[in-house]
Structure formats: structure tokens, C-alpha cells
Structure 1
């Protein structure tokens, strides 16, 4: 009984987790390794390789998963379930468009570039161009998007009531209740310097010069995009974007693209992302395909000082009780992820109480010097995209280590109860699905009892 519960929990976590970096290293780094590989599971037209199992197994271990002796079998079962989800999606006509996959992949590549440094550094490390890397990752990202779509179809209607949460908690043996380490409630209010009129004008003039070079035929759009575009997803492809439909891109971009003639080159178009030079390549009803050159205006030293001064003024309003931190963060913070929560960081369960181990190291060391209820002066830091910004840190509360209880940990326990309920549904789905789809497991793995 205990083993079955563990498998169910791990199964659900595996399906809902998107281990993109694992997929990245599998796909990109494979040429660097010499693997003796073979197929260990066939699921309809899909396969699981021995290398897939070993890499994912090592990934679980690196995340702190304890090897109980059955972990490799649990991991294999998760991989089989994922392939079953993909196979069933094909049968049930659950479709993920290539445009959606490409957009998702572009976002991931942008994030990877912001973390590693630059496209050139990524290409140097892997010995491949960004185009080659994206091509190798496309099918993996598409498969993951299909898995997510199927999972939503299966579990989207599942909810838990307060009664179910209490019942779930009361069934946990007292000596098995989780023990939570120190947690804190910490918020941030981010002020991102905005480029002034002078900086905006520089970018607009630069794009006009690029436009002129393209129209005169002295330069090609593709070369200029590769040279100047700051869109990491499309710049390396000569600015090429996939087909999009209304509502998927910045409104200003879409408005320009929908009124342009095929082959026309726009004037500089301003959006929240920067300034675009757009070429319309094809239109099909409400969908269109374009390529663009994006240049992002950079704030000047004066612009940066203005942002710091403005944030300090907001801090004074909070200290004078003219507003409170939560309201100010919702209104002014440039970090959308935390702004929606009144500036507070959230844990994996959605709670505003976060384990200190999960805090960004810079936030942790800042909070470590603060007293509860205090608010910092504006602190300079670098955002994910590398731009300079300022933030206020508010240290609201500290919760000492404790054993789980409904009063203090209801939100976490509710999340556990919901996952258990979804896991039970996935168990039922799995039992049914494996009778509808061809599954063949290598006899060497019969001891895992995946098909029983």
C-alpha cells in the first residue's frame, strides 16, 4: 500500500513537471556522448530508450529524490505514462499547433540566453548554431506540450473541498506528518528604469537607417536582423517568425501586420517590447507570417536615476501609511509575477509563505540582515533579461520550523490533497489507457510490473 502511494505521487509530479533543462542536455549534448542505447518500451508508435530512463533517473536523484530501491521503476512508469498521454492525444485528436510550440520554444531560448549570457556563448558551448539547437528541441517541446494538454483534459475538473482536505490530513499518521523548515513572507516592489525620449529617438532613427538600407538593396532584411535584432528567438533566424493569429502578439505589432501589403516593410512600430521593423510575408485569413527586427531602447544614466528616485518616493508613501506595500506593489511593481500577489513571493503550493531554501540567494542574504516588518531602501539588481532595476524588499513574517498542521499549513495540505486526488484519477486513466494502446516492455524490466 505504501509503495503504491509513492508511485502515484511521483507519477503525478513527473507528468506535471516540465524538466526542460534535462531535455535540453539530452538533445543538445547527445553528440558529445557515446551511448550504448536500445529501445526498452514501445507505446504505439512511440518509444522509450534506455538512455531516457537513465538520464531521467539521474535527474530525480539530483533533485533530492530518495532512492528507495524502486525509484528506477517509478521513473520508467512515468516515462511510459507520458508516452501513453501522447499516443492517446493522437487517438483523441488533441492537437498542439506548431505555432504554439515555436512560440513556447522561443520563450525558452530567450530565457536560456538570459541565464547563460549570449547566443554566441551557447553556440560555443554546444558546438551548434541556435537554429540547430532549436531544430533538435522542437519535437521534445511539442511532445511536452501535448502531455500538458492531455493532463489538463484529464484533471481540469478536479477540486477538493475543505472537508476532503481535513479528511486527507487526518489519515496521515502522526509520525508521518511532514516537517516544514523555516518559512518567510517576503515581498518585492520592482521599479524598472524606462528609457526617455532621447533614447527612444535614437532607436527610431537607427531602425529608419536600417529600413533605408534594405529598401535601397544595399543590405538584406535577413542580414540586418541577424546583426541588429535583439529578439533572441528570431534574430538568429534572420528575424523569421511563424504564423500567428490575432491575440498572440503585441497589439501594435498585429495592427501593423494586418493592414500591410505582402512584401511591405513597415515604419518603426513601438510596442511594450521595443521598436519593430516588420515585413509581412504572408496572410491567411486572420493568421499572418512576418519577420521583424527588434531593437530595445536602453535607459540612460538619467533615466536610471529617475527610477530610483520614484521608487524612494513610493517607499516614503508606504512608511507614512499613505498606502500599504501590497497595494503599492500591485499598482507600481514592474515584476508581473509577484505584483499580482501584492509583491509577495509564492511557494510551489501558491502560498505566500516560502521556505528560505527556495529564496533567491540575493533575497535570502538581504532578508537575513532585516528585522520583521522592515522595508529596505531601493536596491539595485539585475532582472532576468540582464537589465538594471531597483526594488524594495519587505520582510513581513517569519514562521519557525514546525510539524504540519491545518491551522498554519492549510494551503499546502490542500495542494497535497488535490495532487492525491488527481493521482488517483490518473491511476484509473492509466489502467484504462494501457488496455487501449499497444505497450511492449523489454522483458529485462518485467520486475517493475508496469503493465500489471
Structure 2
């Protein structure tokens, strides 16, 4: 058995499911050490808020490796080890982790050489998501400032650098592996190399569908938001600064802090109602009140540049916890009755009527967040509320109408369909084809990345601190003293 197969089997045997094992990135040779993006101290504090301010989180910023103009600090290595511990994962050896960090820096350096970029708008969107998560964890922006002892802008600046590097590294990986394909023959060949007595035992898995209807915004609530925006529009027309009003009133946290500035956008990037209104404006002009899926907007066009436009807005949203769910509940109750009478198939009903766009096109099927598979392990990794519901149901049944809240905070109701249950079993080629395919694909991607490293290592200048002279970075013992600072 070769090294690749041995590594794959060791991970397969140590995890509950092949899909979970695949998500850890552990199915390959040396380059499988490529880590998930290493967390910053701020993000570690989110995962382990009880450690904020403790002495062990204060790390010396000694440079231990340099790749062109990118540095690996000793604190990076220690934080990477902490992130594994915080996520309950066994940490790799320091040398292996150092090589992974050097590889990430090499990707950043090569991205610079090859002019691979990530747009600022994408970075800002990801940053906004992370900052929103922090607000949820700590309760308010004020609590975050007090907890970390620094301004929100300083904290965002630190996290933004990391977000940008993570996204750029990911884009480089995608660029390198974009032509990687897997055939059924590849999957069967891999499966046949695994000794039958080494195949892992798989837990029960389920397929679940949902049909979602969101709460209705009443006419009175819409009118209240319109009147508030009209008053703000009138203030701008009488000399008030749009940016100042956006900062004080907009409920789009990300752009609100920047005076509503959304940066340059290409056609098709924004939702249709917003873009349609923005493109009708001349620089400096304001729109009428615009309604979209996100709420109600007041838009001001700043300038255009070729096929791009630069706008800012003030966004007001309904109070979702006060929205009316009587009509959505009645609608889903009627739909459920039709499905139970076999007058309508659940999959068609989901495609035609579900307002959750992420699942509607797939006939309502929910997907595992890690593997992307429609089969979800029915164990401790499943959301407890979902587990509790399914545990009382039989396959083929549909729940009564249940309260629902989307990941982006929308309030609504849904019905769940218990479509399939796969009993616990030894890993099987046909039953677990999708997971095996993912493993083989990841192995091929890792091999492609490994070959890319070997070809590209000469394009960058790498030095490693003598303290780590025993580490065989890229399979060599050659290390040059890197600069160090305290």
C-alpha cells in the first residue's frame, strides 16, 4: 500500500464519517498539511472567549520564516496550534505546521507575482460577516471594544489583513486545481485498495427537505420605513451630508460605518432593484425609495467608471421579530395537506413555493455544511433541534409548520420532510460513492498543489530561522538565518 493510501486509511478509521474526514483535508501526502486558514488572536478569542487577556495569549513576534516580502511569526505558529486545540482537533507537529504556514505565504507571494487578486468588495463582505459574528458572540460592538481594549476599526484592520490573505490563498488553490477531475474508475480503484477489514463503520445518515416561507412585512411597517427614508432624503436635499446620515441611520453595518459607501460594483453584482435604480441616476443624484430582499434603500450615485458604478446607500430593515407569520403559516399548512394527499410532490412544491433560495432548486434538500452532501450524519454533529425533531419521526413524514429563522436573521416558518434514512453500515462503494469521490478529488488536488510547489519554489526567496533547522521545509534541510525582531 502506498503512502497516499495509508494516510487516507488512517484518517478514515479515526473519523465518524468519510465526509467529516474529507473536510479535515487529511487525505494526502506532505501537502495535505495545508491548514484551514489560521486564526488571528482576535478570532481565537471568539472561539475561546475565556482566554481573552490571559498571559498565554501574549506571544512574541519573532520572525521565524520569510517568503519574499511575507513573514511567518512565532506567534503565527503558536496561534495555529491554539486554533487546532480550540476546534478540538489534534494538532500536527510544529515542523509540519511551519511548512504549511510557509506554503501559505508562498501562495501569497506567487499570487503577487502572477497578478492574482481578490476584489476589495469580496474582502469587505467576508469581513462584515466575521464582524457580525463577533457582535453575536459578545452582544454588542461596545462589548467587543471593552473586551479587546482597542477600537473596532483597529480590530477590523487586523482581521481584514487575515481575511484578505485567506481569500487570496484560497483563490490560488482554486487556480492551481481548477482542471482537476475525478472519474468513477478513479473512485473504484481507490476503494479497492482499502482492505475490507479497514473500512470504517458509518453512522446513520438522513436526507431532509424543507419548504420555507418568510414572515410578511405589513403595509404599515413598510410605510413607516418609507417615511423614515423620505425624511432622510429631504434632509440631504436641504444640505445634510448623506454619508453622515448613513453612518447614523443605516442598518447595513458594513457600509454604514463608511458612510454607506459600497465601493465600485460591476453590473450584476447587486440585486436587480438596487442596481436598476442606481444606474438611472447621475453622479450626486439620489433615488426614490427602493425595496429589495434586504429591506428599503435610499441610494446616491457617486460616480461611474466604464462598466462599473460607485454608489452609497442608507438601508432600513423591518423588525423581523415583529413580522406577521399568520399568512405564511396558513400557506404552508395548506401545502402540507396537498403533499400528504399525494396531490403534489414535495420536491416540486419546494421548487415552486419555497422562499429559501439556497435549497429550493434542489427540491428543498438540506446539505451538510462541511461536505456539501445531501446526506447528513444523524449524530452529535447535527443541530440538536433538528435531531430532536427527526428522532420522533418516521421516514416519509412531514412535520407540522415550525418556526424558522434563517442564517441572515430572517423570521419565517417551514415544514420539514424526512426523505431518507441510511442505517449505520460499513463504508460501501455504492452507498458512499459521493464521499469517496470527494476524497479522491481532494487527493488529486493535493497532488496538483504539490507539483505546483516543486515547480514554483525557485520563484520565491525563502529563509527559515536556525531554531527550526531540523525542519525539512519542502523536503530539504537547507535553512538560512531569517531576520528576527522582538
Normalising by structure 1, report the TM-score.
Answer: 0.90
Alignment of structure 1 residues 163-312 onto 2, 5 Å: 163-217=185-239, 219-298=240-319, 303-312=324-333
Tell me how far 1:141 sits from its aligned partner.
1.5
Q: Distance in 1 between matches of 2:312 and 2:389?
A: 43
| Cα distance between partner residues in 1 of 2:32 and 2:446 | 9
- Residue 12 of structure 2: aligned partner: none
1:374-393 equivalences in 2 (<5 Å) = 374-393=397-416
**Which residue is equivalent to 1:42?**
66
Q: What is the Cα deviation at residue 225 of structure 1?
A: 1.9
SS at match of 1:394: strand
Corresponding position of 2:473: 450
Shift of 1:443: 2.5
Give the drift of 1:211: 1.2
- Alpha-carbon offset, residue 151 of structure 1: 0.9
Contact residue 63 and residue 73 of structure 2 kept, 8 A: yes
Distance 2:383 2:465 in 1: 43
Q: For each residue in 1:358-386, what CA deviation from the matched residue of structure 2 results, as whole angstroms up to 9, or x when unmatched?
A: 32221112112222222111111332233
- The answer to whether residue 77 in structure 2 is matched with residue 53 in structure 1 is yes
Equivalent residue runs for 1:9-158 within 5 Å: 9=28, 15=34, 17-18=36-37, 24-25=43-44, 32=53, 33-67=57-91, 70-113=92-135, 117-158=139-180
Partner Cα distance (2:357, 2:42) in 1 = 28
Deviation at 1:397, TM superposition (A): 2.4
Aligned residue number for residue 445 of structure 2: 422
Relative to 1, partners in 2 of residues 1:304 and 1:42: Cα closer, same or farther, differing over 3 Å?
same
TM superposition shift of 1:292: 1.0
Q: Residues 34 and 63 of structure 1: is their aligned pair in 2 closer, same or farther, counting only changes over 3 Å?
A: closer
Say which SS state the counterpart of residue 344 (structure 1) adopts: coil
Task: Give the secondary structure class of the aligned counterpart of 2:325.
Answer: helix
SS of equivalent residue, structure 1 residue 303: coil
Contact 2:320/2:411 (<8 A) preserved:
no
1:137 shift after superposition:
2.1
- Per the TM alignment, residue 79 of structure 1 is displaced from its structure 2 partner at its CA by 1.4
Q: Which residue of 2 aligns with 1:397?
A: 420
Deviation of 1:71 after TM superposition, in Å, equals 3.1
Residues 31 and 449 in structure 2, CA contact (< 8 A), matched pair in contact too: yes
Give how far 1:106 is off.
3.0
CA RMSD in angstroms, aligned pairs only:
2.9
Q: Distance in 2 between matches of 1:336 and 1:111?
A: 22
* Cα distance change, pair 182–340 in 1 and its aligned pair in 2 (3 A): same
SS at match of 1:189: strand
Q: Give the gaps of 5 or more residues in structure 2.
A: 9-25, 476-486
1:114–1:385 CA contact under 8 A, matched in 2: no
Aligned to 2:172, the other structure's residue is in SS state helix
Give distance in 2, aligned partners of 1:378 and 1:400: 27
Q: Report the alpha carbon displacement of residue 96 of structure 1 after superposing the two structures with TM.
A: 2.1
